[in-house]
Amino acid sequence: AKKAPSPEDLAAKQAAAQAEANRQELQRWLGYVEAKIPEGYLYANGVAKLKALGVASHPDLQDRLNTAIAQVAAVKERQEAARTEAQH
């Protein structure tokens, strides 16, 4: 006969499910931030939401966020250079 799962087992399952849901939420917000890269726009609200959700505890997602921030800066720089050139 199968015995009922212990409260610890249930808690561990619940924690794993919560961690997965949190990760999916992080990935969703990261997608919003990454989608704005080509415009040279840093979606600050999205970055704040990612930090609040604990992106730092997911090194792979934190790396993606760092990359996105750097890419936005690079796009902005190119846009600025193009504007400066257009003025001369």
Q: Where residue 5 falls among pLDDT bands split at 50, 70, 90?
A: confident
Residue 42: phi and psi, rounded to 5, are -90, 115
- The whole-number pLDDT of residue 26 equals 98
Helix (H, G, I), strand (E, B) or coil at 65: helix
Give 19's Cβ-side CA count (13 Å radius): 8
Find tokens 């799962």 and name the residue: 5
Find tokens 């499910």 and name the residue: 17
H or E segment to which residue 80 belongs? helix 59-87
Does residue 35 register a pLDDT over 80?
A: yes
- The whole-number pLDDT of residue 53 equals 96
Q: Among 32, 33, 29, 39, which residue's Cα sits nearest to residue 74?
A: 39
- Using a pLDDT cut of 70, give the percent of the chain over it: 99
Average pLDDT over residues 4-30: 94
Within 8 A by CB and 6+ apart from 36, the residues are 42, 43, 46, 72
- The whole-number pLDDT of residue 64 equals 98
Q: Is the pTM of this model over 0.95?
A: no
pLDDT tens digits along 36-46: 999 999 999 99
